[in-house]
A and B are shown apart, each in its own frame.
Chain A
Amino acid sequence: MIAVKVVAPFALKEAAPDGTVQLPEKTSILRLLRMQGAPPFAYLLPVAVNGVQAGKNHRLKAGDVVVFLAPITGG
């Protein structure tokens, strides 16, 4: 198992309070979404892993920071 940190604008089923999620090695982002019971709109959100754009088939490794990007207002 590996630990990755997930920052997302939706609830994760099995995340620690700091967003850490335990996953099997080489889990893809798509599988992460399924495992965590993500809502349908989450599949549409763009993702960055360690600050770099990533596709939903990107395989995660231990220590990755996965950020689902959300449109916000402000400024």
Chain B
Amino acid sequence: MIKAVTGKILLVNLSDAAWQEEILPEAMYNEFLSGIGLGARLLYERIPAGANALGPDNVLAFLSGILTGTGALFAGRFLVAGKSPLTGGWGDANCGGSLAPAIKQSGFDAIFFSGMAERPVYVHVNDGQVTIQPADDLWGLDTIETEERLIERHGKRARVACIGPAGENLVRFAGIANDRGRMAGRSGLGAVMGSKKLKALVLEGKHKTSVHDLETLKEWSKQTANLMPKGKSAVPAWALAPLGRLMSGMKTSFRMDGLMALGPLQAWGTAVANELSILIGDAPVRNWRGTPAMFPARVVGLRRTIPTQRKKYHCVSCGLGCGSITEYKGRYGETHRPEYETVTAFGSNLLNRNLNAIYDMNEYCNRMGLDSISTGSVVGFVMDCYEQGLLTQEMSGGMAIQWGDSSAIVRLVEMIVQREGIGDLLAEGVMRASLALGSQSERFAFHAGGQELPMHDPRLDPAYGVIYVSDATPGRHTIHNTLEYDMFRLWTRVSWAPEPPQKSPKSDRYLNSEENAMKNAAGSMYKSLLDCAGLCLFGAHMGVDRTGFFELLNAATGLDLSPDEYMEKGRQIQSLRQAFNIKQGIEPAEVCTNPLVTGNPPVQKGPLRGLSYDLHGMRQKFWRAMGWDEKTGHPLTLPMETR
């Protein structure tokens, strides 16, 4: 058996409260590594075609990465996967915190839940021993209260993943929380957990992860640690927005390097992007249909957010530490510093200038177990529909829903969590709500294949657009984009990955070229490898040559594979995720998004003026670069068929 894995998984059937271990063949690890690869392999096989995502046939997986627990830096993310109730296809999400190593320490590489319990339960796994406990007393508690209760019961070493009321009420964009409200948010897997009446997973154990070549692992981790910024940030916070605006105004783009961004990211996390992204047109304004002139970006800028930082923190295995606890005036008083996505979804996207209300929504979503991206998007859709008269005050229960009205935003989200009044429809997500409100509302619905779009406008970087409609979990921003391709530096290790020039015209991004398709394919394959490893994207920003990503995989496992061979595994895993969707009845060519984000029609004002791209053609070239049928997006072969 390869190293760095336990070699076994845990299967829990909640319908009959039974569990069993399953020893996996070594060949499966050799072929799919662990993490998302293992999940794709097993869920493709074990979730029947046409399974109800919120029914007993869906299987929910908690997966650890192959590098997690090996001592490799940045390998602290766990993954959840299953059939998404939002898209009806492959759903996955990942999160940092401290849960990832606990999966392996409990004795398993992954834990799979099938069936449905009759009454609420939680599952406790301790060094391979499994108990299924009643959770009636926890049902209805928020994620932080749930975690506190379970830690009180099982001790401080216990690690908890749980859902809040949103997951219990089957809100289709509910997430799964750990570490006091940190969220594996996307794909609606919290609703899957809720449908199974599984309130929480509690993990304990002392299983150690053995590795093949500890010295090599230590050496690379030391080299990576040496790259971390030291001392005070070299960047004055006030300078970021004007500098970024200056650079974005140039017709030439320069190849970016992850080292350039480490300092600000360490100091302020993704909040560094809040203001700049609005100014340059990356952040949606007014449900994607506005321009930066409509929203004063400074209200979410660093000069406003830095004073709220109270305490910084790291995820497990992280050398950077981009997280922090922030204070605000409101019902909870403090929250994890909201990520860029949340600030934008509840800020410029809704023309909401009230920073305290944005922070409050962040904490409320964390506690209720909601994906803040989808939640903010749903509210934006409602505000547009209300303004256009497609949703009346009578339908909203007498509430006026005006742009920027923070009290209406809070009330709408509360109604979504409880499925109260109009909230019952909105809890179904933008796509289903739009179908119910009629075809007039379609142009205000911003989703891809059923999942609400993240807060990055593809008109600024068409690579986002291609991935939004091409990945097996559509509408995801953490798969690949042009900036991250630069930073991953794949060309330093992978023979066929195109090397971007040091500088190039910005118009190159909009070309439907073979080179752009190859970059998109390489980024997509690499992302699946990161999710096999449990690695953080921000760690990956330093580049494969500096973090020794491929060398770490060999050192941890004892495999002796070249980067090209690993990338082929990445391709196979993406093929399996795509095949999962086809098995579940989703035709890749039919997955689409709102034409506005392709620049159709082009906007007349602002930084995105006149920008458009050929999404259909770029997707076809991407599929071909992935080795799939360019017309249908079907993989031509699957790994299991080539054995």
What is A's interface to B at a CB cutoff of 8 Å?
Answer: 7-11, 41, 44-48, 50-54, 65, 67-75
Given contacts A45-B243, A52-B231, contact A70 B270 (CB under 8 A): no
| Minimum C-beta distance from B34 to chain A (A) | 26
**Docked-complex contact A74 and B270, CB < 8 angstroms:** yes
A-B contact pairs, 26 of them (CB 8 A): A7-B260, A9-B255, A41-B243, A41-B247, A45-B243, A46-B263, A47-B234, A51-B231, A52-B230, A53-B234, A68-B260, A69-B235, A70-B261, A71-B235, A71-B240, A71-B244, A71-B264, A72-B244, A72-B261, A72-B483, A73-B276, A73-B280, A73-B456, A73-B483, A74-B340, A75-B340
* Cα(A34)–Cα(B282), bound, Å: 33
Q: Given A71-B276, A75-B340: A41 and B261 within 8 A (CB)?
A: no
Q: How far is the CA of A51 from the CA of B229 in the complex (A)?
A: 4
Q: What are the 4 A-B residue pairs with the smallest beta carbon separation, nearest first?
A: A75-B270, A71-B244, A53-B234, A75-B340
- The distance in angstroms between the C-alpha atoms of A7 and B247, with both chains bound, is 16
On B, residues with C-beta under 8 Å from A are 226-236, 239-241, 243-244, 246-247, 250, 254-257, 259-264, 269-270, 272-273, 276-277, 280, 282, 339-341, 456, 481, 483-484, 502-503
How far does the alpha carbon of A71 sit from the alpha carbon of B262 in the complex, in Å?
A: 10
Q: Knowing A69-B261, A72-B260, A75-B339 are in contact, say whether A53-B243 is a contact too (CB < 8 A).
A: no
Our pick among B228, B246, B254, B456 for the contact of A11 (Cβ within 8 Å) is B254
CB distance from A44 to the nearest CB of B (A): 6
Provide the main secondary structure of the chain B interface.
Answer: helix
CA distance A44 to B240 in the complex (A): 11
Q: How far is the CA of A52 from the CA of B266 in the complex (A)?
A: 13
Known contacts A11-B254, A41-B246, A75-B339; is-contact A53 B231 (Cβ 8 Å): yes
Which chain B positions have C-beta within 8 A of A51? 226-231
- Across the interface, do B247 and A69 meet the contact criterion of CB distance under 8 Å? no
B298 shortest CB reach to chain A, Å: 15
Do B483 and A71 touch across chains, with their CB atoms under 8 A apart? no
Chain A residues contacting B340 (CB-CB under 8 Å) are 73-75
Given contacts A11-B502, A51-B230, contact A73 B263 (CB under 8 A): no
Q: Contact: B246 with A72, CB < 8 Å?
A: no
Question: Would you call A69 and B256 a contact (CB within 8 A)?
Answer: no
C-alpha spacing A60/B261, complex, angstroms: 21
Pick from A9, A46, A54, A73: contact of B277, CB below 8 A.
Answer: A73
**Contact, CB under 8 Å: B234 / A9:** no
Is the CB–CB distance between B483 and A74 below 8 Å? Answer: yes
Q: Determine the distance from Cα of A71 to Cα of B465 in the docked complex, in whole angstroms.
A: 22
A32 to chain B, nearest CB (A): 16
In the complex the two chains form, is B264's CB within 8 Å of A73's CB? no
Residues of chain B with a CB closer than 8 A to A50's CB: 230
> What residues on B are CB-neighbors of A70 within 8 Å?
243-244, 247, 256, 260-261
The answer for the CA separation of A3 and B637 in the assembled complex, in Å, is 49
Additional A-B contacts beyond A9-B256, A11-B254, A71-B243 (15; CB < 8 A)? A7-B260, A8-B260, A44-B239, A48-B229, A51-B229, A51-B230, A51-B231, A52-B230, A52-B234, A53-B234, A54-B234, A71-B264, A74-B273, A75-B339, A75-B340
Question: B254 to chain A: which residues have CB within 8 Å?
Answer: 8-11
B273 near A53: Cβ-Cβ < 8 Å? no
Bound: A74/B230 CA distance, A: 22
Question: How many angstroms between the C-alpha atoms of A70 and B263 in the bound complex?
Answer: 10
C-alpha spacing A75/B274, complex, angstroms: 9
Residues in chain A near residue B270, CB distance under 8 A: 74-75
The docked-state distance in angstroms from the alpha carbon of A53 to that of B234 is 4
Q: How many whole Å from A48's CB to the nearest CB in chain B?
A: 4
CA distance A11 to B255 in the complex (A): 9
Chain A residues contacting B235 (CB-CB under 8 Å) are: 46, 69, 71
Cα distance A5–B213 in the bound complex, in angstroms: 30
A71 in contact with B241 (CB, 8 Å): yes
Please state if B263 and A72 are interface contacts (CB–CB under 8 Å).
Answer: no
A26 CB → nearest B CB, Å: 21
Residue of A nearest to B484 (CB): A74
Q: Using known A-B contacts A7-B259, A54-B234, determine if residue A75 contacts B273 with beta carbons closer than 8 Å.
A: yes
For A68, list chain B residues within 8 Å (CB). 260
| Complex: chain B residue closest to A5, CB-CB | B259
Q: Which residues of B contact A75 (CB under 8 A)?
A: 269-270, 272-273, 339-341
Residues of B with C-beta under 8 A to A44: 239, 243, 246
On whether the beta carbons of B230 and A11 are closer than 8 Å, the reply is no
> Known contacts A53-B234, A75-B341: does B269 contact A69 (CB below 8 Å)?
no
Complex Cα–Cα for A19 and B270 (A): 27
Quick check: B276 and A53 within 8 Å, CB to CB? no
Q: Which residues from chain A contact B250 at a C-beta distance below 8 Å?
A: 41
Q: What is the distance, in angstroms, from A58's C-beta to the closest C-beta of chain B?
A: 11
Q: Chain A residues with Cβ under 8 A from B262's Cβ?
A: 67
Which of A10, A54, A65, A69 has the most chain B CB atoms inside 10 A of its CB?
Answer: A69
Write out the residue numbers on chain B whose beta carbons fall within 8 Å of the beta carbon of A8: 254, 257, 260
